[in-house]
Each structure stands twice: as structure tokens, then as C-alpha cells.
Amino acid sequence: MSATSLQNTDPSLMTHEPLLEHLPFECPPLEQQQFIETVGLSFELVGLPRMAGRILGWLLISNPPHQSPGELAAVLQASKGSISTMTRLLTQLGLIERTSLPGKRRDYFRIKPNAWAELTKQRITQIKTFRQIAEQGLKLIDDSAPPLRQRLEEMHAVHAFLEQELPLMMERWEQRHTSQVMPTAADSPAQAG
């Protein structure tokens, strides 16, 4: 098509669909799309943006495990601005990290190694904060008001228990994690054949 014929083309008749043919991705199969949406909805349930969950969902199952912002935008059918904002959030949460590849000029994102253990350790700090809040509340209410104290005592008891037990669980996890080699998907017997 010549430059002249492009200038005479009615813009309302032009679509962007042919551009999609040149993108280096295939739309994920339905099962993978459902997984991505499930992770997104799970994020929404805990007060985080669905798009952040969708990005994490794709990074959990994508091959290769690193994805560029453009690839994320294409696969998730999202704007680059949304991808930028949500990858920044996921990076701050410690779930993903920005990386580069030898010989490539663009940045990529991938699941951060040990992300889930680190996230749990962050939760321990939050649990300690809630225990301290319950203690402050209990100081405000004297012993003559048992119904009022009961709510704060329960809050304190749960968080004190978790504050004590979660670090022990994390120690056991780290011992288990470092004492055994975690098999990769390629090592899985189900993949052989």
C-alpha cells in the first residue's frame, strides 16, 4: 500500500487487529486465563488491585518465567500504564523483581526468589503491630468492664499466639527448604515422556 493510499484511508475503517499478528505472544489457553483471573480475584478479596493479581498469576505460570512490560500488557490485554503501576506495587510488596537479560535492552519482571517466605515474614511484623494495638486498648478499659475487654483480649490472644508461632514455622520452613533441593517443573516426573 502506498503512502498516498494510506492518507486516503478512512480512519474509522482502520483497526488495530493486524498489529496483533506481529506481537511475540500467543493468547494463553482458557485454563491459564482462568488461573490468571482466579489470582486476580484473590488479590481483590484481600484489598489489592485485581490487575496486580493478574500480573502475578501470569508470572507464576508463564514460560519463559520473565516477561517484559509489553508482553504483560499484550497477554493480559491491559494498558502499559496499568502494567507499570501494578508491577511497581508488586515489586514494593516483594513478590516480583525487575531483571534484565544478556544482550537485551529492555527490562523484564519475574517472581522474586523466596518471595512467599519474605511475604510471610512481613506479616509477622503486622501481627506484632496488631498485638500492640490490642495491648493499648486493654490499658484503656479497666477490669470492671469484662464485655468490653473480651473483644480486645481475643484480638490480643490471637496475635500474640501468631507472633510466637509464625517465626517458629518459618524457621522450620527454611530448614526444610535449604535441606532439600526443590524440584523444578522440568524435573517433574509428569513432564517426562
The tens digit of pLDDT for each residue in 21-69 reads: 334 567 899 999 999 999 999 999 999 999 999 999 999 999 999 999 9
Q: According to CATH, what is the number of the domain 115-180?
A: 1.10.287
Quickly name the fold that domain 23-111 has: Arc Repressor Mutant, subunit A (1.10.10)
191 versus 73: which is more confidently predicted? 73
Residue 148: per-residue pLDDT: 84
- CA dist 185 and 188 (Å) reads 5
User: 96 with 87: CB under 8 angstroms?
Assistant: yes
| β-bridge mates for residue 99, sequence order | 108
Q: Is 76 exposed, middle or buried (0-12, 13-18, 19+ CB in 10 A)?
A: buried
- DSSP H or E stretch at residue 96: strand 96-100
* Spans of all domains in the chain: 23-111, 115-180
* Mean pLDDT value of segment 12-27: 46
- CA dist 78 and 70 (Å) reads 9
Residue 189: per-residue pLDDT: 46
Q: Is the pLDDT of residue 1 over 80?
A: no
- CA dist 183 and 193 (Å) reads 17
**Domains 23-111 and 115-180 agree in fold:** no
30-44, 67-81, 134-148: lowest mean pLDDT where?
A: 134-148
User: For residue 35, what are the contacts with CB-CB under 8 A and spacing of at least 6?
Assistant: 57, 60, 61
Q: Is 101 helix (H, G, I), strand (E, B) or coil?
A: coil
- CA dist 12 and 98 (Å) reads 39
Q: What pTM was computed for the model?
A: 0.71
